[in-house]
Chains A and B, each alone.
Chain A
């Protein structure tokens, strides 16, 4: 009995040592996002897109630094800032130096602060924050820091593009703004009020309200208010189940105008809207899916569909995160010296897989890229979402949106 225990221990030890040896030439990226709970769908699909991008764009092409491969390590944060900080610590303890997170700016705000603190206290093992989706403008303004890079267009940039389209439509006289009650929802509302005021002072904002995030069972009372306000357009930053709940509810309860959204696509949302959303849903986002920008984008999407038949590429920017990080690591010549990697990322210009050239702005680490207004439709869709026949198609494009926009970021560089 005793011998077998010793033997077992010895084996376990050898295994762990060999696992460690194998890990030496993989570069781990921690993916901290919700993988359970109401927003699990969004998180899981993001994880698949990361794993696919790492394999397809880096590992299959020989990796970085002459053979090191990327590995995505998933951590479930249950969309809670508190849980995220625990997972961040676990990731740091595992020696991971790259943190990717996107769902919820509330989480991103907590992470960026924690990472800044960690890097100040532990100069020997610093980490980078690759924010691929949290679009609260504060993250690249008042709360910016050297370790944070944002690959999505922030809420202000998107709202700028969205209000350009609204401003051109003379039929819109009344706008209703509704969003989730947290930093991002508030940022969307503030930006909408500001840009509409600048571009079309004649538009009346008939409603501006926030609802609890992820807790509303039934959006009917909100829809009643919206219909009663006689709004011609709705602006919302809602995502996940909150987007679907709100959208379906207003359309069912008699609302007829357009709904301008940030995230009303994929993860089951497109399929669930189906015919109801046709002509109503507009979506502002980077990354052109339909029509495909070039053959490479089409081939990439087809390969993704071959691997994940039920999946969607809903966050095109993830390919930019992976490609730019790989280039930066190669340029820096090291994956462990994140200061060098961060300097390489700063100001990097990159050929976007989804068309156009993008640039990581030095001053605030905000990626400058083309922003598109998409329509939810089944007409002219090459790559549909949720295998529903419906997808999003580019209607308008603002190239290099907000290239010269102001920022209040005062970054301290190491």
Chain B
């Protein structure tokens, strides 16, 4: 029972982190129709910039400055890169962001090398917030939860309660009309891209000390972010949140408990073939949940695509 609570908290942390990445990506996609392959690379840049800044000015300045720098870079990429490629259609845009992802990874390796960076959280958060049956919850994780929840509420407020948010929402569905009404739609696009990448930057800043700051960090997280926005429904902030939490909990729980396929199959009335190592079904019978934890989100995505192609909260067809 105690362990369930602990895993709920762990899954929440993973899920919220994923949310910060997917929130930006889903907004960018619904607005521009571009899958930004370089999104996770901005997450990596956030971690590296914050590491560099933290060496000189400490963690908190890193948390403040790094996302801004990443956001400005993101806006720059939209203004001087994507906007020019846009006229040639979606495929060149896709290739552009893909190339950008490779470029950023090489650049990071060129500047910082291939080793893991000793990026640490602030000393003030280096204590155990509380412990549940011997499982300590580091204060840093609680801090991560607060930051991500604050960002979600902030985003939701901006999108639904402010004038800027209303224009963005309108531009999502009727960009031509919004433009005709005198709004500067390219500027809105640039802003959304900048904010989206800045969010990825924030995620990098706070995930770097926990998940490690190394050149492979974008690659490790890259594909799961796309899965999240497909499950949640493209363009839906709530969808991104729900899907992120779902994935966070699914993977955490299936790793934390050794559920065996053998038990599952026997409850359904199948009998285990003996001897098992000669059976063609050997691999199926010997699967345990930690082994398949990381592919479960993909299974979920396939199911969603079959039964609800527009995602959990999506409004239109993906």
Contacts and interface: CB of A to CB of B under 8 A. Distances in A.
B256 interface: yes
Interface string A195-234: 0000000000000011110111110111011011010000
A227 B137 CA distance: 12
Contacts of B290: 209, 211, 221-222
A272 B210 contact: no
A268 B136 contact: no
B7 interface: yes
Contact of A241 (B116, B252, B288, B294): B116
A220 B248 CA distance: 12
Interface string A367-410: 00000000000000000001010000000000000000000000
Interface in B110-134: 113-118, 120, 128, 131, 133-134
A312 to B, nearest CB: 10
Contacts of B221: 217
Interface string B1-45: 001001100100110000000000000000000000000000000
Contacts of B83: none
Contacts of B136: 252-254
Contacts of B177: none
A274 interface: yes
Contacts of A271: 118
Contacts of A41: 113-116, 214
B238 interface: no
Contact of A218 (B115, B210, B215): B210
A310 interface: yes
Interface string A262-274: 0000011101101
A37 B217 CA distance: 9
Contacts of A274: 118, 120
Nearest to A34: B114
B309 interface: no
A101 to B, nearest CB: 18
Nearest to B3: A228
B1 to A, nearest CB: 12
B116 A40 contact: no
Contacts of A43: 114
Contacts of A253: 135-136, 138
Contacts of B120: 274
Nearest to B254: A221
B220 A217 contact: yes
A248 B221 CA distance: 19
Contact of B291 (A210, A244, A272): A210
A221, A228, A244: which has the most chain B beta carbons within 10 Å? Answer: A221
A215 B220 contact: yes
B214 A224 contact: no
Interface in B236-267: 251-253, 255-256, 258
A37 B255 contact: no
Contacts of B293: 221
B118 A38 contact: no
Contacts of A230: 134
Interface in A237-258: 241, 244-245, 248, 252-254
Nearest to A252: B138
B116 A218 contact: no
Given A212-B294, A221-B7, A241-B216, A254 B131 contact: yes
A44 interface: yes
A181 interface: yes
A245 B219 contact: no
Interface string A16-52: 0000000000000000000011111101110000000
Contacts of A36: 109
A253 B13 CA distance: 14
Contacts of B131: 254
Interface in A250-298: 252-254, 267-269, 271-272, 274
Interface string B144-164: 000000000000000000000
B40 to A, nearest CB: 11
Given A38-B219, A245-B212, A224 B118 contact: no
A253 B256 CA distance: 14
B138 A215 contact: no
A215 B291 CA distance: 11
Contact of A37 (B116, B128, B134, B216): B216
B14, B116, B118, B215: which has the most chain A beta carbons within 10 Å? Answer: B116
A391 B48 CA distance: 24
B210 to A, nearest CB: 7
Contact of A228 (B118, B134, B211): B134
A87 B14 CA distance: 38
A220 B212 contact: no
Given A41-B114, A388-B118, A224 B135 contact: yes
A254 B214 contact: no
B252 A221 contact: yes
B118 A386 contact: yes
A267 B114 CA distance: 9
A44 B112 CA distance: 13
Given A241-B116, A386-B118, A388-B118, A224 B10 contact: yes
A314 to B, nearest CB: 11
A267 B215 CA distance: 13
B215 A224 contact: no
Nearest to A242: B212
29 contacts: A37-B216, A37-B219, A38-B216, A38-B220, A39-B216, A41-B214, A43-B114, A209-B290, A211-B290, A214-B216, A217-B14, A217-B224, A218-B210, A220-B14, A225-B256, A227-B134, A230-B134, A244-B212, A245-B212, A253-B138, A254-B131, A267-B116, A268-B115, A268-B116, A268-B117, A268-B214, A271-B118, A272-B116, A388-B118
Given A217-B220, A218-B14, A224-B135, 9 more contacts: A41-B214, A215-B220, A220-B13, A221-B255, A224-B3, A227-B135, A241-B216, A252-B138, A386-B115
Interface of B: 3, 6-7, 10, 13-14, 109, 113-118, 120, 128, 131, 133-136, 138, 210-212, 214-216, 219-221, 224, 251-253, 255-256, 258, 288, 290-291, 293-294
Top 10 A-B pairs ranked by shortest CB distance? A268-B115, A38-B216, A254-B136, A221-B255, A268-B116, A40-B114, A221-B256, A271-B118, A41-B114, A41-B115
